[in-house]
Every structure is written in C-alpha cells, then in structure tokens.
Structure 1
Amino acid sequence: MSATWDSNLPPDDPYVIGVWGWVRAALRGLILGLLVFGGLVLLLVVRLVERPLFGLRRPITPFITQFVCRSAFCILGMGFRSSGTLMRQPGAVVANHASWLDIFALNARKRVYFVSKSEVAGWPGIGWLARATGTLFIERNPARAREQTELFERRLLAGHKLLFFPEGTSTDGMRVLPFKSTLFAAFFTKDLRDILSVQPVSVIYHAPVGHSARFYGWWGDMEFGTHLIKTLAVHRPGTVELIYHPPVRVADFPNRKVLAAHCETVVRQGHAAALARP
C-alpha cells in the first residue's frame, strides 16, 4: 500500500448544504444506517450457522452483503450501471480506487472479498463491517510477505474472489494511478498460477449535474464524515459505472509486473473512454 495520494490542483469550493440538503442527509443517513447495521446483524447471525458447516467458504452471507450494497445506491438516489461479463473461473478482481463508495459499488455487482491494509480493521464502524464481510487484511511488513501469500492461497483455493486496488490509495476519480505489482505475486505460486485468472474493472463516477467532476472522489486528508454528508445531501445525485473487462489467465504472463501492467492499461483505457463520453 502507498501513501495517500493528493492532488496538485486547487481544492473544489466547499459544498454548501442548505436546509433541505440537511433534511435529505438526515433521512437518507438514517435509512442507510438501518440498512447497513441491520444487514450486519443478520449476517453475523447467519454466519453462526454458516461457519461451523462450511468453514472458510461462505455460500450464504455474501448474498446479504450484495443486497445491502445494491440497496444503498437506491437510498442515496445514485444511478448504478455496469457492463461486461462477470468472471466465473477462480481468481481475483482488480480495480482503480476513487472513493469509499467503491466498496458498495463493487460488492453490489459481484460477490467479492476485499483485500485491505491492516489499519482498516481498527477503524470504528468500517472495521467491524470489513471483518464481518470477510475482508482480508494485510500489513506493510516485508517480513510477513510469505505468511500473507499463504493466506491469499487459502482464500483463493477456497473459491473466494479476492478484490484489491493496485493503486494502493484512492484518488479524485479523474485518473488511474500506476498499479503496484506486489500483491500480484501471490498469483504466481506453483499451486495457483495455472488455475487462476484476473479480471480488471474500471470504476467511473459521473458527478451530479452542475457540480465538480471530482464530486465523488475521496483523497488526501478529506474527512470521511464530511464526504459522507455531502454524498447524502446532494439534490440530484450522479452515477457510478463499472466496466468489467475480459479476464486474463495468470499463466499467460511471465511475471507479476507484466500482469500488473496489463491490468493497469486495460483499466486506464476503460476509465478514460467512459469519462470522455457525453
């Protein structure tokens, strides 16, 4: 994971929330909170039965997560659209990273398990949700690289579709940063290389009409609470778009750096083409 990305462009003007904006934020926030934490309680109850029966595999609870994330965009009033065919074969998904909303968007379309930095596990609220939904936490410690690679193997061999953001940080949504190849190394072990595929995904945010194109981007030292309220309060929300590109076989690439470069190119091209459309 990398340090937080920051823009060299001046920040957008502060978003002004009027009276009705605060009313919308309060109503949407209340309903969203009930949905998310109600779903969390249901997931934990079901997991009490699922865990002893199926162990590492989770044949039921991911459907709860997917329902919650799909419903979240209805509550936010945001448009949601996707294109491309979902990968069926064993493997992982990689995507560019623009906002905390990415987690809802990518879970809404496909049942996946996120790979996240270990610090997230301790975040109030978000950390609980991440642990409950099966997020795989990794540390920035080279001494634990082998141990974490073995953990990747166990999860992938159990049939989990792991999803990570190779940029290592979120952006303003207007660009794709260079992909880091470190996490791709786990796919090249002798037990995984010949059976895994990787599917690149472009995540694009189309801002509400009349607002900055960077409206949904979350980067630098932005506070989560402020960004959340802005997202809840906007009168006519924008749209999130996902483009699922054709998956590629790990065995067709000589090493992790070439695979990472290919995925970056595909995601970058899809992202740029979507932003260029009217």
Structure 2
Amino acid sequence: MPTLRATFRLLALALLLVALAPLDTLWRLARRPSPWPQRFLRAAARLLGARLRIIGTPRRHDVVILANHLSWLDILLLGGACGASFVSREDIGRTPLVGWMARRNHTIFIARGDRMGVEAQIAAIRAALGPHPVAIFPEGTTGSGDPLLPFKPALLAALDPPPPGLVVQAVRIDYGDATRELAWVDAEPGLSHARRVLGRRGSFTATLEFDAPFAPAGGRKAIAAEARRRIEAMAQPPKV
C-alpha cells in the first residue's frame, strides 16, 4: 500500500504541474508576477497530506524568513503559505525538473564549501531581497527540531548592513505528532526519505508559527542568535 500511495501522489503531482506550468508561462510572457509557483507548492503540500495551520501574520515583502528545518516538506509549506523563495544548494539547481521548478520560484543557488565564492553568494542573496520573502534555514540541514541544531550565520552577512526597510521574521515549523515520521534525520538517504513521506498514510497538521518581525541589528551572529531564541521560545508551552 505505501508504494501504491506514493505512486498515486507522484502522478497527482505530475498532473498538477502539467496543468499549472502553462499558466505560469503565460503570466511571465505578460511580464506579470506569477502566482502559480506559490499555488503549486500549496496544492502539492496538501496532496502529501499536510493540513496547514498558520499562527501569526506572514510578512509578504522586504523580509528574510529564518526557520527551523525538518524536511523538504518545509519548502512546500513555507512557499505555499507566503510565496517565499529559498536559498538552496547548487546541486539542486542541476537536478532535472526539481531544478527547473526551483528556478521558477526564484531560488538562490549557492555552492556549499566554496569559501572563495562566499562574497558572490552574499551579493546574490542581497540582490534578491525586497519583492518577495526570502527564506533561509540557518541550521544548514534537517533535523528533528528537538533540540534545534546550531544556527550557521554566514549567509546572514547579506543583512549587514540591512537594506532600508528590511526586517527578519522567525518561523517555527512543527508537524506535531507526525514529526517523527516526517523529519529527515540520521543521514537517511534522500530517496528513502522521499518514498517514506510519499507513502505515508493519512493527513497531518503542519503548523507554521510566524513571530513578530524584528529589525536586523548587531551583525550576522546577533541576528542568528535572536532568531534562534525566538524559535526556541515559540516551542515552549504557554505559561498558565
């Protein structure tokens, strides 16, 4: 059954892409901002069983989103919720179809480990800021979320100094009781994780909690520390 369920979902995703790609192309030919990548991501998340719950108010422009990272599902959920583009590994851009879809969503590709190219990467991120949210997963990899992994602040140099009017919004991603099944941890091969998520039975609640935006100040390390503090605080049970 998991294999059959995964096959059905892949076919449904393919049909969704075939239906929306021409509409996206028409919007771009008309030189209009295309809503279709966001709509595709939102519909794809639902096809995979996610029932989105949003807490707080997502900022729609002039914002860098810093979020914890549980799974590749995070991209579908965040992109579908607020139209965010993402900072991703360079090899993703070379992956057939996935790379094409990522470019349609204004993904910024960086080469991990390329210390000589850091300045160019920072410039690319800085150039993308403004029209739509830019999301960064500062943990640099996926995990269970408990505890948060250390935040890597290197890419946040794009906010030092911050462009005028730009803010940072910390976001906590939570899959509730389904986290253990959906989180990508322990160096699990990507194909194995994808099969497991695609073949999972039933739906789950995916919560995106958007904290109040804050002005980036004090340099990249201070920005990373403040975002991490806010995400940790959102994970705490409310005080009675």
Matching residue of 1:23:
4
- 3-state SS in 2 of match to 1:60: coil
Rounded to whole Å, the distance in 2 between the matches of 1:89 and 1:45 is 24
Aligned mate of 2:192, from 221, 226, 229: 226
Q: Specify the structure having the higher radius of gyration (Cα).
A: 1
User: Compared with structure 1, are the counterparts of its residues 88 and 25 closer, same or farther at alpha carbon in structure 2 (3 Å cutoff)?
Assistant: closer
| Identical counterparts, % of pairs | 30
- 3-state SS in 1 of match to 2:170: strand
* TM-score normalised to structure 1 length: 0.77
Taking the TM superposition and a 5 Å limit, the aligned residue runs for 1:84-123 are 84-88=56-60, 90-123=62-95
Per-residue CA shift, 1:113-156, capped at 9, x if unaligned?
Answer: 11112121112332221112210112232322222222223221
Q: Is 2:139 aligned against 1:167?
A: yes
Matching residue of 1:5:
none
Aligned mate of 2:220, from 242, 245, 256: 256
User: Compared with structure 1, are the counterparts of its residues 26 and 197 closer, same or farther at alpha carbon in structure 2 (3 Å cutoff)?
Assistant: same
Aligned mate of 1:206, from 171, 176, 179: 176
Per-residue CA shift, 1:210-238, capped at 9, x if unaligned?
Answer: xxx41001134323333233223233232
Per-residue deviation, 1:256? 1.5
Matching residue of 2:208:
242
Rounded to whole Å, the distance in 2 between the matches of 1:203 and 1:244 is 9
Per-residue deviation, 1:240? 1.2
User: Compared with structure 1, are the counterparts of its residues 48 and 273 closer, same or farther at alpha carbon in structure 2 (3 Å cutoff)?
Assistant: farther
Question: Retained in 2: the 8 A contact 1:174–1:214?
Answer: no
Q: Is 2:181 aligned against 1:215?
A: yes
Which ranges in structure 2 are unaligned for 5 or more consecutive residues? Answer: none
User: Which letter maps to 2:223?
Assistant: L
Question: Retained in 2: the 8 A contact 1:207–1:216?
Answer: no
Question: Retained in 2: the 8 A contact 1:172–1:217?
Answer: yes
User: Which letter maps to 1:201?
Assistant: V
Matching residue of 2:128:
155
Aligned mate of 2:98, from 107, 126, 142: 126
User: Which letter maps to 1:197?
Assistant: V
User: Which letter maps to 2:99?
Assistant: G
User: Which letter maps to 1:233?
Assistant: G
For these two proteins, the number of residue pairs brought into alignment is 237
Rounded to whole Å, the distance in 2 between the matches of 1:116 and 1:156 is 15
Aligned mate of 2:20, from 33, 39, 44: 39
Per-residue CA shift, 1:217-276, capped at 9, x if unaligned?
Answer: 1134323333233223233232211100011012xx2221111100011112223549xx
Rounded to whole Å, the distance in 1 between the matches of 2:45 and 2:126 is 33
